């Protein structure tokens, strides 16, 4: 097998795994277990591990520090966060307010997220109806400029 064929097969596997990860998040609100990915896509665990590393290196997913467990596949979080998104399809965890809005957009559903302001503890609501953020006086503030998000994506 020549190098181009190996590269194409690798790209196809990575794409299939990424799609499966997103499908699991959309359908269940949870990241798939690596063993489930391997079984579903008829791949060896080591092939899936290698793909996870490539996807993480390409910033397509974020692995929990020191592991090969999915932590994030933006806009989804595999772990609970302050940004719990409720939809008629189910509930999801977002990594931040921006991602909470993006879950609604990605799934094409109405959604609601209630969080508490980290400064004053006031409850804030982000409500998406028919693809539009409903009127609010609340402000979303990013402590880290977007150009610096990947310097510490877990903090951002």
The per-residue pLDDT for range 74-84, each reduced to its tens digit, is 999 999 999 99
Cα–Cα distance, 96 to 104 (Å, whole number): 13
Structure tokens at 25: 């998040």
Cα–Cα distance, 67 to 139 (Å, whole number): 35
The per-residue pLDDT for range 19-44, each reduced to its tens digit, is 999 999 999 999 999 999 999 999 99
Q: Give yes or no for a contact between 104 and 85, defined as CB atoms under 8 angstroms apart.
A: yes
SS3 state at 48: helix
The per-residue pLDDT for range 40-64, each reduced to its tens digit, is 999 999 999 999 999 999 999 999 9
Which one of 45, 73, 101 terminates a domain?
73
**pLDDT above 70 as % of the chain:** 92
Of 101, 93, 90, nearest to 131 (Cα)? 101
Cα angle value 25/29/31 (rounded, 5°):
50
Structure tokens at 10: 């690798």
Is residue 51 located within the same domain as residue 87? Answer: no
Is residue 33 located within the same domain as residue 62? Answer: yes
The per-residue pLDDT for range 81-94, each reduced to its tens digit, is 999 999 999 999 99
Q: Does residue 156 fall inside a structural domain?
A: no
Which one of 23, 42, 73 terminates a domain?
73
């Amino acid at each position: 097998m020549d190098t181009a064929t190996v590269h194409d097969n690798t790209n196809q596997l990575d794409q299939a795994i990424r799609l499966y990860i997103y499908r699991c998040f959309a359908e269940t609100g949870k990241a798939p277990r690596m063993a489930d990915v391997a079984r579903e896509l008829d791949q060896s665990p080591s092939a899936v591990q290698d793909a996870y590393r490539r996807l993480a290196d390409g910033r397509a997913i974020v692995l929990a520090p020191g592991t090969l467990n999915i932590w994030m596949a933006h806009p989804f979080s595999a772990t609970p966060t302050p940004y719990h998104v409720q939809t008629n399809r189910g509930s999801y965890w977002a990594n931040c307010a921006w991602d909470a809005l993006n879950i609604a957009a990605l799934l094409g559903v109405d959604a609601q997220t209630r969080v508490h302001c980290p400064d004053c503890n006031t409850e804030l609501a982000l409500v998406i109806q028919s693809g539009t953020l409903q009127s609010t006086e609340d402000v979303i503030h990013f402590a880290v400029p977007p150009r610096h998000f990947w310097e510490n994506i877990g903090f951002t």
